[in-house]
Amino acid sequence: MFKLLLANIKMTFRDKQAIFWSLFFPMMFIIIFGLFDFSKMGDAKYVIFNETDSEISQQFQQGLDQITFLKKQDVPESLDQAKSKLKEGDIDLIIVVPKDFALPPAENNPAAIPPGNNDSAQLPKPSPIEVFYSESNITVNQIALSVVDKFIDRMNMQIGQTPTLFSYNAESVQTKNIKYIDVIMPGILGMAIMTSAVIGIATGISQYRERKLLKRLSATPLKVRNFLMAEVFSYLFLNIIQISLIILLARIAFDVKVYGDYFLIYLICIIGSVIFLNLGFAVAGYAKNTKTAESLSQVVTMPMMFFSGVFFSTEALPKIVGKVVEYLPLTPMVEALRKISINAGSFQDIWKQLAFMGIWIVISFLIAWRTFRFKD
Amino acid sequence: MSVIEVKNLVKKFKQPDRKSDLVAVNDISFSVEQGEVFGLLGPNGAGKTTTLEIIEGLQKPTSGETAIKGISTQKELEKVKNLIGIQLQSSAYYEYLRLGEILELFGSFYQKALPADQLLDIVNLREKKKALIKQLSGGQQQRFSICAALVNDPEIVFLDEPTTGLDPQARRLMWEFIKKINQEGKTVVLTTHYMEEAQYLCDRIGIMDEGEIIALDTPKNLIHQLRSSSRIHFRATERFDLEVLKKVEGILEVKSNSENYYHLKVSKGNEALPKLYKWAEENKVFMIDLEVISADLEDVFLALTGKKLRE
């Protein structure tokens, strides 16, 4: 059996197609998602027409500068030019600070107004700051407007010396710098193992059957059990190489860290792999020929690839779909991988997922047992 | 000494669209002697492959039994598998392994195995040891599948249509390899629907048709059993009465077509020919394009079934 295992591994590495789908394809995903810079998408570009250099307008400018989310652009020659830029989507926001945007003279300083006298109507009011925005990018503009809004509120309060009663402390719970690629990487691990195991076994075995290789093997004293073991172990070996390469690439190229225990990552992957190998055998047993096996394994893997939280959270799905998806084998696998990789989870954190995957091993084995036939 | 025993073998297949079962093998019995080349000859669908695969243990019989060297295929398949070598009618080997690697891998399945070099030498493929299957020609692939059947140095080799799909030259070459294997002391059982092949290679032939063995003997005896062992064809310068010709001793049947072509069936060519000459001289018949054709297995098959071997 050992010889057959070695031969299987040798064959896999000579099969360029198998290598592409199992090794390079998932690595391509890592590169693509690694290159997307999702933090850039949230920026709002603005131009500011500052028609005065009063102290307060300078303060306003400093305040804007502190907000990293707002990116100041070079001021165009005229407001009209800026407006047309806004329409084209080159900038998100135009802020116009009027000429009379300055603190009133000392005698009219609101600080001198005795408390309780709220007759603010007496105060000379500078013209309002004008903000132009385009409707096309609603989220960005809502945030940008609220930032400007808040800033102006604060200045008003400061000048009016309104005491600050309410306050809050914002503290990010995530102390690590988690990027989208960090979230995606464990998902890619799960996806890579699923596709290579299901598609690999299903098409591989049905090809063997179609070419009568299984029949030829059954003419030798080779035991079916040994044949299957050699298949399973060679795929486990391939999967270990697969995930090592994916983790390594993500680490080198995009600084994706695995915060938890590597051993647990590999354990989850191997358990997942056994489930998907079983499903592969089931498909190979059910499909009459290689073509059917190919499309049937797509039918099995595709929904999981998109619904089991590989690329986006399962919470974004409609409720009913979400419920169904919870029971698919890839979902707990990806969840467990994320818990280990991102949250540095321990065995206790993933035992539920592991137990669930254990149930899937039994189910998938039973399905494979019932459907798989060695000969035609 | 017989090395293969087949007793009352029956194989029926269920037909989903019909009520009755398809009887692929209908109660056949025969035995194969040690060291001989035994052939099953018959048209496609006669039940040759099914018979072979039951003996090899690849299919289960509906009833009856088969044994190799006294060991029942149905009861002790593992033992039987180590004694025999099998070439399947159509079977591919691993796509991404080299010939040498395939032979070593298959060897590892058996208790004993021959080295790859020695096996490749048998079929002159030594220089292709590092090649992949797809880099071989059709004939070479077929040769390889024969040497793969010898990997465990079996006493009995089964070849299922070893030359089907080969061009005449490659077929000739294959015949020589099969003879060589037989001369090394191995018993060879083969199926074929080429009567020349059966005639050339086989010590004994079982003619199969519709699941039954309708004749079993040496090629020579099978032909001798025919009422007419030869045919004589000739063209005559003028027409004459067919009935006159029939009176010549040894001539069994006379046919003619409009172009003065005459086809005779005779019991023995060498006896009938001088008499035909004498008759021609006496009757002033001038014969041109005369040919004597000895009967072959095709004629045997035709005589037994009323059908041609390949239709």
* This prediction's pTM: 0.76
Q: Which residues 3-62 of A are in CB contact (within 8 Å) with B?
A: 3-4, 7, 10-12, 14-15
State mean pLDDT over B247-272.
79
DSSP class per residue in chain B: -EEEEEEEEEEEE--TTSSSPEEEEEEEEEEEETT-EEEEE--TTSSHHHHHHHHHTSS--SEEEEEETTEETTT-HHHHHHHEEEE-SS----TTSBHHHHHHHHHHTSSS---HHHHHHHTT-GGGTT-BGGGS-HHHHHHHHHHHHTTT--SEEEEESTTTT--HHHHHHHHHHHHHHHHTT-EEEEEES-HHHHHHH-SEEEEEETTEEEEEE-HHHHHHTSS--EEEEEEESS---HHHHHTSTTEEEEEEETTTEEEEEES-HHHHHHHHHHHHHHTT--EEEEEEEE--HHHHHHHHHSS-S--
CA pair distance B59, B44, nearest whole angstrom: 18
The pLDDT confidence band at residue B34, using thresholds 50, 70 and 90, is: very high
CA distance B188 to chain A (A): 17
**pLDDT at residue A87, as a whole number:** 81
| Per-residue model confidence (pLDDT) at position A307 | 85
Contact A213 B82 (CB under 8 A): no
Q: What pLDDT score was predicted for residue B49?
A: 93
For the segment A326-352, what is each residue's pLDDT rounded down to a tens digit?
Answer: 889 999 999 999 999 988 888 888 999
Pairwise pLDDT comparison (A316 vs A367), residue with the higher score: A367
Domains in chain A: ranges and CATH:
2-37+179-371 (no CATH), 40-160 (3.40.190)
The 10s digit of each residue's pLDDT in A49-89 is 888 878 777 877 887 787 777 778 888 888 888 888 888 87
Given a cut of 70, whether residue B238 has pLDDT beyond it is yes
With beta carbons under 8 A apart, name residues in chain A contacting B82.
Answer: 221
Give pLDDT, residue B206: 94
Who among B58, B95, B105 is closest to A219 (CB)? Answer: B58
Q: Is pLDDT above 70 for A176?
A: no
Place of tokens 């698919």: A328
CB pairs under 8 A between A and B: 57
Q: Do the chains contact at B109 and A222, CB–CB below 8 Å?
A: yes
CATH number of B2-224: 3.40.50.300
Nearest CA-CA distance, residue A221 and chain B, Å: 6
At a CB cut-off of 8 Å and minimum separation 6, what does A40 contact?
none
**How does residue A170 score in pLDDT terms, banded at 50, 70 and 90?**
low
**Interface touch B109/A211, C-beta < 8 Å:** no
Q: Residue B170 burial (CB < 10 Å; 0-12/13-18/19+)?
A: middle
Give CA–CA dist A88/B154, Å, rounded: 82
- Selected for mutation to probe chain A from B68, B91, B153 (highest A CB count within 10 Å) is B91
Q: What's residue B77's pLDDT?
A: 92
Q: Do the strands A93-97 and A70-72 form a parallel or antiparallel pair, or are they unpaired?
A: unpaired
Nearest to B88 among A12, A215, A221 (CB): A215
pLDDT confidence of residue A281: 93
**Smallest CA–CA separation between A212 and chain B, in Å?**
5
Q: Which of A5, A220, A290 to probe by mutation at the B interface, max B CB count within 10 Å?
A: A220
- The distance from CA A176 to its chain's CA centroid, rounded to whole angstroms, is 15
pLDDT band at A143 (very low <50, low <70, confident <90, very high): confident
A107 pLDDT more than 60: no
Interchain CB distance below 8 Å, B109 and A11: no
CA of A228 vs chain B CAs: smallest distance (Å): 14
pLDDT computed for residue B311 by the predictor: 52
A340-375 burial, b for 16+ CB within 10 Å, e for fewer?
A: bbbeebeeeebeebbebbeebbeebbebbeeebeee
- Letter for the amino acid at B102? I
Helix (H, G, I), strand (E, B) or coil at B151: coil
ipTM: 0.84
Percent of chain A, pLDDT > 90? 32
pLDDT band at B149 (very low <50, low <70, confident <90, very high): very high
Structure tokens of A102?
């300055």
Q: What is the pLDDT of residue A289?
A: 87
Residues of B in contact with A219 (CB under 8 A): 56-58, 81, 86, 88
pLDDT-wise least confident of A168-172, B121-125, B168-172, B290-294: A168-172
Q: What are the pLDDT digits (tens) for A290-315? A: 899 999 999 999 888 888 888 877 77
The sign of the torsion formed by the CA atoms of B221, B224, B226, B231 equals: positive
What tens digit of pLDDT does each residue of B93-142 get? 898 999 999 999 999 999 889 999 999 999 999 999 999 988 998 889 99
- Do A10 and B95 count as a contact with CB atoms less than 8 A apart? no
Q: Does the beta-carbon distance from A3 to B56 stay under 8 Å?
A: no
Q: A227 to chain B nearest CA, in Å?
A: 10
Query: Which residues have CB under 8 Å from A338's CB, separation 6+?
Result: A183, A186, A187
Closest chain A residue to B90, measured at CA: A212
Range 70-129 of B in CB contact (< 8 A) with A: 78, 81-82, 86, 88, 90-97, 101, 104-106, 108-111
Contacting residues of A for B109, CB less than 8 Å apart: 217, 220-222
Strand A93-97 with B212-217, pairing: unpaired
Checking if the pLDDT of A118 tops 60, the result is no
Half-sphere exposure of A322 (CA within 13 A, CB side): 8
CA–CA gap between residue B181 and residue B122 (Å, rounded): 8
- In this prediction, residue A174 has a pLDDT band, given cuts at 50, 70 and 90, of low
Percent of chain A whose predicted confidence (pLDDT) is above 70: 88
Residue in A10, A213, A218 closest to B58 by CB: A218
Tokens 């860290």 belong to A257
DSSP H or E stretch at residue A269: helix A262-286
- List of chain A residues whose C-beta atoms are within 8 Å of the C-beta of residue B97: 7, 10-11
Tell me what pLDDT residue A295 has: 92
182-211 in chain A: CB under 8 A from chain B = 211
Beta bridge partners of residue A49, listed in sequence order: A96
Looking at residue A248, its pLDDT comes to 93
Nearest to A221 among B95, B104, B109 (CB): B109
Of A108-122, B154-168, B256-270, give the lowest mean pLDDT range: A108-122
User: Which of A4, A216, A221 shows the shortest C-beta gap to B81?
Assistant: A221
Say whether A221 and B108 touch across the interface (CB within 8 A).
Answer: no
Checking if the pLDDT of A172 tops 60, the result is: no
Joined tokens for residue A250:
């993500």
Asked if the Cβ–Cβ distance from B86 to A219 is below 8 Å, we say: yes
Adjacent-strand bridge partners of B40: B191, B206
B106 interaction partners in chain A (CB closer than 8 Å): 220
User: In this predicted model, what pLDDT tens digit does every residue of A197-245 receive, in sequence order?
Assistant: 999 999 999 999 988 899 999 999 999 889 999 999 999 999 999 999 9
Does B293 have pLDDT greater than 80?
Answer: yes
Which overall architecture, per CATH, does domain B230-294 show? 2-Layer Sandwich (3.30)
Q: What value does the mean pLDDT take over residues B3-7?
A: 94
pLDDT of B240 > 70? The answer is yes
pLDDT band at A23, cuts 50/70/90? Answer: confident
Q: Please write the tens of the pLDDT for every residue from B197-212.
A: 998 999 999 999 999 9
Q: What whole-number percentage of chain B has pLDDT above 90?
A: 52
A89-93, A260-264, B18-22: range with highest mean pLDDT = A260-264
Strands, sheet with B63-68, edge to edge from the N-terminal-most edge strand: B22-33, B2-13, B63-68, B71-72
Domain definitions of chain B by residue range: 2-224, 230-294
Per-residue pLDDT for A138 more than 60? yes
Which residue type sits at B29? S
What is the gyration radius of the CA atoms in chain A, in angstroms?
Answer: 31
